[in-house]
Chain A
Amino acid sequence: MSVRVFRKTGSAVLVVLIAASVLFPLAWMAIAGFKGRSEVLRTPFQFFPEMWRWNNYSAILRDHQFMRAMAVTFIGALIFTVLSLAVNSMAAYAFARLDFRGKRFWWVYCVMPMFIPMMAILLTSFVVVSKLGMLNTMAVLIIPGVASAAQMFFLRQYYLGYPVAVEEAALIDGASRWQIFLRVFLPQSAAPFVVVGLASYLAYWNAYVWPILTITDPSLTQIMQFLGNFRSDRGNDWGMLMAGSTLASIPTIVLLLVFQRFIVNGVRISGIK
């Protein structure tokens, strides 16, 4: 009995300790946003501010550049997510279920990009998009990353495991492959779509290198570009930068909390383990 109680409190203490140390940097970031300019970095150290000030948060919320970057990135991320779900799931269905000439070749072609390091194509991708006249447009942020080998592969694995019987019945009833895809497969795809869609959303929202290469127009500045260049653009206003970073992490954290069950199980769907 006493051993069990001891164990239970032990693991409870451990849970709290682990959670606290993992979350410490994020909490610290959010709290630093409430500190005054002279208070942010100072010895002796204080965890909480002497006075909770809202001026960093209100200043960044009134900052046009910041709000614009948040809005532009959010819209871009939504379009990006929808497009990549459409493109990748369609190809995934074709590779999982259809039989066609040259299938093996196109399969290798579509999966190979998983093994190409980003750097090997980053520089010439830049040359390609600038020749296509795509620099400083939303299109350059959205279109090049839409087709994703890894996501297509993930969806295909999922579709392979989907029972064939339903599909055969629909085929005998005379449904076309498109109808089967749209009416049978898509409605069943919620779980993998959440996992893959979230990955797309995060990839877009968190992108930094591609935007700093292709976007110089301030009205299209992406949120991570804004934060990453904050110190060189505006100096070491740490309080405001931490407030901005906190606000910019909220959308992704909220998404994680809303879809937590899908994500935690996503590992199982993927069949990596």
Chain B
Amino acid sequence: MALLESAHEGQPPAGAGTEPGRRTRSGRRASAPRRQDNVTAYLMIAPMVILLGIFVMWPLVYSVYLSTFKISFYKAPQFVGAQFYQYVLESSDFWHSIWIGLYYALLVVPTGIVIALLLASFIKTLSGRVAAFMKVTIYLPAVVSTVIASVLFTFMYQDEGVVNWFLSLVNHAPVAWLNSPRWALPAIAVPGIWLGFGITTLILLAALLDIPESYYESAKLDGAGFFQRLWYITIPLLKNVLLYLVVTGFTLAVQMLDLPLIMTNGGPVGATSTPNYYIFNSFRDLTPYATSYSLTASLLLFAVLGTISIVIFRLIKSDKAVDG
């Protein structure tokens, strides 16, 4: 049946798309846009469906399945139910990594959005050619790989590196950025912001350009300054875009892996052990049951992350409702 139909579909113009049954039922004119194209459609989505099935859906199901087993190289897998879940939830290292992830997101997301908003407001005032130059310049770091940014910033943070040279200009003693538990996380947040703010700026700029100029003009007549206009006109009108940026920025930031992996290896003393780094590292760890443990931790992270994004979403939404 399917074969027959697909052969039918493949026929040159005259035959294609006029399945006899449907034509008698509803007539040609009505059927053209509304008819079903089951075979064509399934052939078109098949590669995507199959690839997602093998490389996304199956691994996800498999993760859930494996997390209920104790896996070791020496013994046959043993069903343990939710034991690993309890084990992970009771592990202080897991919660520590979640905390680090949240702290990192707190360092990166608000700063990135504020910088982007200021830049976007500034670019909006520029004339065509200069604005185009700025947009490309600002976007440039976004195409640089996280690995290159990591290597580059590690270099800049060396004891004799350029960052400490800037400090010496203000008579400050050099800081061992990546080796100090206090400064390591802020230090890796800087390349995080640098890599991400370009896209944020472009998105905000597109949104800014949609705000009618007349709003600003009447505000100016009333004597509102730049920051007043930003606070009372721009920000309220951009609420949905900002919400989108906060939630996506947050989920991306909490999942940061490359920067700590290359710059600090999670150190010093776990100060940059983001959740994904922690999971990745415990997977590479050869201690017994590491596989089940890290799988379980990754699923729990998924749940924790989802919950937090929903909370952020709700918080901002309800705030909006209050504002009217």
Chain A residues in contact with chain B, CB under 8 A?
11, 14-15, 18-19, 22-23, 25-26, 28-29, 32, 41-45, 86-88, 90-91, 93-95, 98-101, 103, 106, 109-110, 113, 115-125, 127-129, 143-147, 149, 152, 164, 168, 171-179, 181, 202, 205-206, 208-209, 224, 227-228, 230-231, 238, 241-242, 245, 248-249, 252-253, 255-257, 260, 263-264, 267-268, 272-273
Chain B residue contacts of A90, Cβ below 8 A:
44-45, 47-48
Judge whether B152 and A29 touch: CB under 8 Å: yes
CA distance A174 to B18 in the complex (A): 9
Tell which of B146, B262, B302 touches A120, judged by Cβ atoms closer than 8 Å: B302
CA distance A110 to B48 in the complex (A): 8
Nearest CB of B to A152, in Å: 6
Chain A residue contacts of B156, Cβ below 8 A:
25, 28
- The stretch that binds A, out of B80-88, B106-114, B130-138, is B130-138
Chain B residue contacts of A22, Cβ below 8 A:
137-138, 140-141, 194
Q: Give chain B interface residues in 7-55, CB to chain A under 8 Å.
A: 9-10, 13-14, 16-17, 32-38, 40-42, 44-45, 47-49, 51-52, 54-55
Interface membership of B3, Cβ < 8 A: no
Chain B residue contacts of A42, Cβ below 8 A:
160
CA distance A260 to B276 in the complex (A): 33
Judge whether B49 and A106 touch: CB under 8 Å: yes
Q: With A91-B45, A110-B45, A241-B151 in contact, do A23 and B140 touch (Cβ < 8 Å)?
A: yes
CA distance A175 to B183 in the complex (A): 64
Judge whether A87 and B47 touch: CB under 8 Å: yes
Chain A proximity mask over B251-269: 1 for CB below 8 Å, otherwise 0: 1000101100110000000
Judge whether B147 and A227 touch: CB under 8 Å: yes
- The stretch that binds A, out of B201-209, B215-223, B228-236, B312-320, is B201-209
Judge whether A177 and B40 touch: CB under 8 Å: yes
Q: What are 8 residue pairs bridging A and B, where the CB atoms are less than 8 Å apart in the complex?
A: A25-B194, A90-B48, A118-B255, A119-B275, A179-B16, A202-B143, A208-B258, A272-B203
Chain A proximity mask over B291-308: 1 for CB below 8 Å, otherwise 0: 100110011011001100
Q: With A15-B134, A26-B144, A264-B139 in contact, do A120 and B40 touch (Cβ < 8 Å)?
A: no
B: contact size bracket: 35 or more
Q: With A15-B134, A18-B134 in contact, do A119 and B301 touch (Cβ < 8 Å)?
A: yes
Interface membership of B176, Cβ < 8 A: no
Smallest Cβ-Cβ distance to A100: which chain B residue:
B41
Tell which of B147, B207, B283 touches A208, judged by Cβ atoms closer than 8 Å: B147
Nearest CB of B to A161, in Å: 16
Could you say which of A91, A115, A248 has the most chain B C-beta atoms within 10 Å of its C-beta? A91
Interface membership of B63, Cβ < 8 A: yes
Judge whether B13 and A175 touch: CB under 8 Å: yes
Smallest Cβ-Cβ distance to A238: which chain B residue:
B155
Q: With A25-B156, A90-B48, A109-B49 in contact, do A127 and B203 touch (Cβ < 8 Å)?
A: no
Tell which of B44, B146, B150, B202 touches A94, judged by Cβ atoms closer than 8 Å: B44
Task: Tally A-B pairs: CB < 8 A.
Answer: 287
Judge whether A176 and B16 touch: CB under 8 Å: yes
CA distance A149 to B151 in the complex (A): 30
Judge whether B255 and A119 touch: CB under 8 Å: yes
Judge whether B45 and A267 touch: CB under 8 Å: no
Nearest CB of B to A32, in Å: 7
Nearest CB of A to B170, in Å: 14
Chain B residues in contact with chain A, CB under 8 A?
9-10, 13-14, 16-17, 32-38, 40-42, 44-45, 47-49, 51-52, 54-60, 62-63, 66, 119, 122, 125-126, 130, 132-141, 143-153, 155-156, 158-162, 165, 168, 194, 202-203, 205-207, 210, 241, 244, 251, 255, 257-258, 261-262, 275-276, 279-280, 283, 291, 294-295, 298-299, 301-302, 305-306
Chain A residue contacts of B125, Cβ below 8 A:
11
Chain B residue contacts of A255, Cβ below 8 A:
143
Judge whether B126 and A11 touch: CB under 8 Å: yes
Nearest CB of A to B151, in Å: 6
Tell which of B36, B140, B207 touches A26, judged by Cβ atoms closer than 8 Å: B140
CA distance A172 to B28 in the complex (A): 9
Judge whether A19 and B241 touch: CB under 8 Å: no
Judge whether A98 and B135 touch: CB under 8 Å: no
Chain A residue contacts of B165, Cβ below 8 A:
43-45
Judge whether B126 and A273 touch: CB under 8 Å: no
Judge whether A256 and B140 touch: CB under 8 Å: yes
Chain A residue contacts of B58, Cβ below 8 A:
124, 128
Nearest CB of B to A249, in Å: 5
Smallest Cβ-Cβ distance to A207: which chain B residue:
B145
Other A-B pairs beyond A91-B48, A100-B38, 7, CB < 8 Å: A88-B48, A94-B44, A98-B41, A144-B54, A177-B37, A209-B261, A228-B151
